[in-house]
Amino acid sequence: MQMIDSGFIRKGSWLARLLVLGMGLVTIADASESSVGKKIEAFSLSDVRGQSFGLPSASDTEATVVVFLGTECPLANAYAPRIQKLADEWAAKKVRFLVVMSNQQDSLAEIGDFAKKHELKLPLVKDPGSKVADLFGAERTPEAYVVDKDHVVRYVGRIDDQYGIGYQRPKVPRKDLEVALEQVLNGNKVEMPYVKSQGCLIGRVKRPVAADEAKVTFHKDVSHLFRKRCVDCHHEGNVAPFSLVDYNEVVGWAEMIREVVTEKRMPPWTASPEFGHFSNNPSLTDDEKKLIYDWIDDGCPEGNPADGPGPLTLAKGWAISEPDQVFYMSDKPYHVPAEGTVNYQYYIVDPGFTEDHWIKEAEVRAGNAAIVHHVIVFIDKGDGRIGQPQMAYAPGMSPRKFPDGHAIRLPAGCKLRFQVHYTPNGKAQDDRSYVGFKYADPKTVTHEVVGGAAGVMAFVIPPGDPNYRMIAFHRMQKDTVLIGMNPHMHVRGKSFRYEAKYPDGRTEVLLDVPKYDFNWQLWYNLTEPKILPKGTELRCTAYFDNSTNNPSNPDPTKRVTWGEQTWDEMMFGFYSTVETRRDRSSKDDSAPEEGKGK
């Protein structure tokens, strides 16, 4: 166990969250194992240019790899470049690759854009009505099938285990698809013919009930619910992998929506309902879940568009109101190499402020989400003081929006310090990230939002330890008004709890996250501010799983210490407080000095 008082470093780095993999990822349960040993009849499909490809009745190939992909599935996007690389490498051994796009929501134009984005030169065909997916028994994207020269399926499952839910391993521990191919080409039995994969459900065509029988329709019911709970992220140009605005798009994701709602993976919320009340809790009620299930059970009837919520008023590409100002990290993009580890990049931007500005809404955005691990924007006061991190990007992290009268102060003469963490993904790319601010009228601002943290920086998590504990605390030096909390660990993070130990001896749990998920770096904004009297100890307790039981663990044999990369670890309990403007006029809100371990 590690324990430390109040803080961390004055000018340090804070990781926001692991890139990507988003809403549409779940572990496959009993997907297509029964397809092993099945003989596949010849078929032919057309690509975006009308050229025919498929599984011919006669062929000079030794094996064919059929991979099912989708244009918007995050994991399919992650593996697309690797599939092209494998096709090139195995061509000399007479192995042919074919990509089948079976989602009803993927248009020919979108498939063409997908191929262009990932520089795919192998055959990429559209599967109308998901007939070929039905032929194989395919359920997910990405999912690979190895078919021998007699058209018998010899392997079904994942490509390898580098990418998965909540993690991206620095190396490929097992190349499942390639191992199976070697065994097939050598005339051997495939030792592991089925390996459970991860991915998105294929969007098959739905058959809705008759209009007069539909109890729930998209436009009258479901679209209003999605507008309330989901569309802030799920609209065109925003961080979510697909939009939940248009019926023709949504219906293809219907079964995936059912699955993630049932598993409580969406909307993302990891706080225990036992403690605290939070204004930004997006969780669905039982009645709202039933409405979704009833709609899907009835075949997803569309209904009358006139019953919908009307045009979307969100600014395109933003989850906040149309920003008053946007600041890019630099004039030119940063070039990220195809492979290797990229050190944190720092940029200083001078907004040219001659007077204070007050932020009531702030959103940090990745210029290229495929390679941006996180972006944090610090306020550099120009006098050696750097404020606590309160503005950041990581997929799943909500933008900052404050109630009337509350705002973050950008003092006159300040600069914006961008910290950007990149994760190469096999293809050299560029990025130019940015932040947007919506300002409040200074006359209306009564309270300034400031940040703080309790954290541990000196620790060693032993190899294989499934339940390593760290405790950090910060003692309030005056009466403090707490408005929100943001726990932060990396992929070995297991659980996180905030407690207040009051001067009178009482202890109260403020926030409990029993199953921490590195995919969702959430702020938990209190419905009612919490008064922490002077002398209150804010205590954060975190547990880490460095064992083989943690599927996100990059290396359970490693002694883990503090570090900025995902395979290292961090433990910070960030929090936001508010103070009246007159109390903040000359305060130093820089990071506290690091305390002593106990």
- Model confidence at 374, pLDDT cuts 50, 70, 90, reads confident
pLDDT, tens digit, 9 for 90 and up, residues 453-478? 999 999 999 999 999 999 999 999 99
* CA 26/CA 498 separation, integer angstroms: 29
Closest CA to 95 of 53, 66, 74, 58: 66
In the sheet with 2-5, reading across from the earlier edge strand, the strands are 2-5, 468-475, 537-544, 493-501, 507-513
Lowest mean pLDDT among 150-159, 258-267, 311-320: 311-320
The arithmetic mean of pLDDT across residues 481-506, rounded, is 95
* CA 84/CA 122 separation, integer angstroms: 7
The reported pLDDT for the residue numbered 347 is: 95
CATH 3.20.20.80 assigned to domain 29-196? The reply is: no
Closest CA to 268 of 398, 463, 373: 398
In the sheet with 415-422, reading across from the earlier edge strand, the strands are 345-349, 415-422, 372-380, 391-393
Q: Where in the chain is the domain with CATH 3.40.30.10?
A: 29-196
- Model confidence at 164, pLDDT cuts 50, 70, 90, reads confident
* CA 85/CA 67 separation, integer angstroms: 13
Pairing of strands 372-380, 415-422: antiparallel
CB-based contact 355:328 (threshold 8 Å): no
- Write the DSSP string, 99-140: EEE--TT--HHHHHHHHHHTT--S-EEE-GGGHHHHHHT--E
Phi, psi of 290 (to 5 degrees): -60, -40
Provide the whole-model pTM: 0.78
- Model confidence at 30, pLDDT cuts 50, 70, 90, reads very low
pLDDT, tens digit, 9 for 90 and up, residues 312-346? 876 667 888 999 999 999 999 999 998 777 888 99
CA-to-CA dists, residue 154 to 66, 124, 184, angstroms: 12, 22, 7
Say whether 350 sits in a helix, a strand or coil. Answer: coil
The reported pLDDT for the residue numbered 158 is: 94
How far out from the chain centre does Cα 489 lie? Answer: 15
The reported pLDDT for the residue numbered 386 is: 62
pLDDT, tens digit, 9 for 90 and up, residues 228-253? 888 887 877 766 778 899 999 999 99
- Model confidence at 74, pLDDT cuts 50, 70, 90, reads confident
- Model confidence at 265, pLDDT cuts 50, 70, 90, reads confident
Highest mean pLDDT among 227-236, 282-291, 382-391: 282-291
CA-to-CA dists, residue 49 to 68, 123, 129, 242, angstroms: 19, 11, 19, 25
- Model confidence at 96, pLDDT cuts 50, 70, 90, reads very high
How far out from the chain centre does Cα 75 lie? Answer: 11
State the greatest distance between any 2 C-alpha atoms of the chain, in Å, as a whole number: 83
Residue 10 pLDDT greater than 70, yes or no: no
One-letter amino acid of 155: Y
Environment class of residue 213 by beta-carbon count within 10 Å: exposed (0-12), middle (13-18) or buried (19+)?
Answer: exposed
Strand locations in 404-476 (E): 406-410, 415-422, 429-431, 434-439, 447-456, 468-475
| 218, two tokens | 């998209």
Helices marked H in 1-73: none
Say whether 295 sits in a helix, a strand or coil. Answer: helix
What sign has the CA pseudo-torsion 207, 211, 215, 217? positive
Residue 16 pLDDT greater than 80, yes or no: no
* CA 221/CA 292 separation, integer angstroms: 9
Environment class of residue 407 by beta-carbon count within 10 Å: exposed (0-12), middle (13-18) or buried (19+)?
Answer: buried
Say whether 296 sits in a helix, a strand or coil. Answer: helix
Residue 598 pLDDT greater than 50, yes or no: no
Number of neighbours of residue 465 by Cβ within 10 angstroms: 18
* CA 338/CA 215 separation, integer angstroms: 51
One-letter amino acid of 534: K
The reported pLDDT for the residue numbered 389 is: 65
| 390, two tokens | 């309160």
Q: In whole numbers, what is the pLDDT of the chain averaged over residues?
A: 86
